[in-house]
Chain A
Amino acid sequence: EAGVAQSPRYKIIEKRQSVAFWCNPISGHATLYWYQQILGQGPKLLIQFQNNGVVDDSQLPKDRFSAERLKGVDSTLKIQPAKLEDSAVYLCASSLTGHTTEAFFGQGTRLTVV
Chain B
Amino acid sequence: GENVEQHPSTLSVQEGDSAVIKCTYSDSASNYFPWYKQELGKRPQLIIDIRSNVGEKKDQRIAVTLNKTAKHFSLHITETQPEDSAVYFCAARYSSASKIIFGSGTRLSIRP
Contacts and interface: CB of A to CB of B under 8 A. Distances in A.
A and B assemble together: yes
A48 B43 CA distance: 18
Given A99-B32, A100-B93, A45 B100 contact: yes
Contact of A100 (B32, B45, B101): B32
Contacts of A42: 6, 89, 102-105
Given A41-B105, A100-B31, A100-B51, A107 B98 contact: no
A56 B43 CA distance: 23
B29 to A, nearest CB: 12
Interface in B17-74: 31-32, 34, 36, 42-46, 49, 51
Interface in A69-102: 91, 98-100, 102
Contacts of B6: 42
A99 B30 CA distance: 10
B99 interface: yes
Contacts of A106: 43
Pairs of residues from A and B, 9 with the lowest C-beta to C-beta distance, nearest first: A98-B98, A42-B102, A100-B32, A56-B97, A105-B43, A55-B97, A42-B104, A43-B102, A42-B105
29 contacts: A31-B98, A33-B100, A35-B102, A41-B105, A42-B102, A42-B103, A42-B105, A43-B44, A43-B89, A43-B102, A44-B102, A45-B100, A48-B97, A48-B98, A55-B97, A55-B98, A56-B96, A56-B97, A91-B44, A99-B93, A99-B98, A100-B31, A102-B46, A102-B49, A103-B46, A103-B100, A105-B36, A105-B45, A108-B43
Given A42-B105, A100-B32, 9 more contacts: A35-B102, A40-B105, A41-B105, A42-B6, A43-B89, A56-B99, A91-B44, A99-B31, A102-B49
